[in-house]
A and B are shown apart, each in its own frame.
Chain A
Amino acid sequence: MEAKSDVDLLKRAWRNEKAAPEILHFEAGLVQRAREQIQLLEETLDEFTENRSDDLVVSLYQMDLDRALFLLRSYLRIRLQKIENYLVHISKTNLWNRLSEQEQRFAKRCIEIMEKHLEQSVLSRLPYGYQSMLKQSISSDEDDMVPEPQLDTFVFCKTKSDVGAFQLDDTGEEIVDLVADDLYVLRYKSIRGLVDGGRIDLV
């Protein structure tokens, strides 16, 4: 069970990213390896076509390749969408370090163009003191306009191994015994650390 292929790992990363309300760490090494494997598959396929191999074999390889490509594309797309939704929030917090270099560049550009767009269509026409994209007015103490992901949403998750008694809230009133290979529905906020540490999978 433990020895998993990179495509399996990519599938797991994809599922986690899909189900988590906030952006997760970019799986740089995994993406790199998956891309190498995809390239290898493509080359193999080209050889097959040149040698006029059995159609069935070719299409099986093609499907394998398509599946891997879909996972990779979808994984990167979901991340871009999260970046678009929580642009400013991500750029101001340490979530920023979870982005790949390319994603950071993308995020910077997005912030610039969103700012320009809102600036010229609304903000520049508001009275003095109300022109910020981050603060409702100059009397706001903090940035009170920035959309943030809802971390207390519920997620389906599956334990990989025994975690043991796990505290769900800050006060220690709710404790769940997390057993290996079991399904749970919990608040994302409370298992955030387990997801980050790779001890639990979202489904």
Chain B
Amino acid sequence: MLYNTHLCFLLLLRKIEDANLDIQTTRNEDHFGAVIHHLSLARNKRCLMSYMYNRAEIIQSLRWKIGPVLPLEIQEKLNYSEEEYYKNHSTAIEAYMSQLDLDLTVDMVPPKDPYIRVKVLDDIGEVCLGDHTISLTPQSLHFIKRVDAEPFILQGLMEEFLE
């Protein structure tokens, strides 16, 4: 469809040229027809670009909200280029963080207590936290550092346990 519009545009320009008129200054019916085709193309481009751009913005925000690996149900909704975009964008953030030697994906909300009580929702298994390992089996309760718990909570593997 875009190419059809483009063709009409070119044909009208040709018509102006064939009539030996100056393409820059002519303001006849053919000129305005061409203008409308040109504007339609630009409009279609804007719609297409905005669709992809706004999706890309959502996709890059997922890196902060979920983590480096997307769950399948989200991945299914992306096209190839978007998946690639997500990976590249993730890598760019990681490169930045490793240059700084500081993880920016934790501490997303202002901290309250340094330790929080959490309930494990999924089988996470043995995890090394600081200088000791703990076993995170489903339904078990733990009292661990907030920064350690944050990535698990973001991914929905744990929840904060409030009495």
A–B contact (CB under 8 angstroms)? yes
A residues bordering B, Cβ < 8 Å? 35, 59, 62-63, 66-67, 69-70, 72-74, 76-77, 80, 84-85, 102-103, 105-106, 109-110, 113-114, 116-118, 120-123, 125-127, 130, 136-137, 139, 145
B 61-102 contacts with A by CB, 8 A:
64, 79, 81-82, 84-85, 88-89, 92-93, 95-96, 99-100, 102
Taken together as a complex, chains A and B put the C-alpha atoms of A113 and B93 apart, in Å, by 12
Question: Knowing A80-B93, A113-B88, A122-B52 touch, does A136 contact B104 (C-beta < 8 A)?
Answer: no
Question: Knowing A76-B100, A121-B79, A127-B6 touch, does A66 contact B111 (C-beta < 8 A)?
Answer: yes
| A contact residues around B46 at 8 Å (CB) | 136
CB <8 Å contact, B111 and A63: yes
In the assembled complex, how far is the CB of residue B111 from the closest CB belonging to chain A, in whole angstroms? 4
CB <8 Å contact, A63 and B114: yes
Taken together as a complex, chains A and B put the C-alpha atoms of A69 and B107 apart, in Å, by 8
| B contact residues around A66 at 8 Å (CB) | 107, 111, 114, 146-147
Interface string of B31-68 (1 = CB under 8 A from A): 00000001001100110110011001100100010000
Contact with B53, one of A74, A118, A126 (Cβ below 8 angstroms): A118
Taken together as a complex, chains A and B put the C-alpha atoms of A136 and B48 apart, in Å, by 12
Taken together as a complex, chains A and B put the C-alpha atoms of A63 and B147 apart, in Å, by 12
| A contact residues around B147 at 8 Å (CB) | 66
Question: Knowing A63-B111, A66-B111 touch, does A117 contact B52 (C-beta < 8 A)?
Answer: yes
CB <8 Å contact, A102 and B100: yes
CB <8 Å contact, A113 and B100: no
In the assembled complex, how far is the CB of residue B59 from the closest CB belonging to chain A, in whole angstroms? 9
Contact with B45, one of A109, A110, A126 (Cβ below 8 angstroms): A126
CB <8 Å contact, B111 and A67: yes
CB <8 Å contact, B107 and A114: no
Contact with B38, one of A69, A114, A137 (Cβ below 8 angstroms): A137
In order of increasing CB-CB distance, the 10 nearest A-B pairs are A127-B6, A113-B88, A117-B85, A109-B92, A66-B111, A62-B114, A106-B96, A121-B81, A70-B107, A73-B107
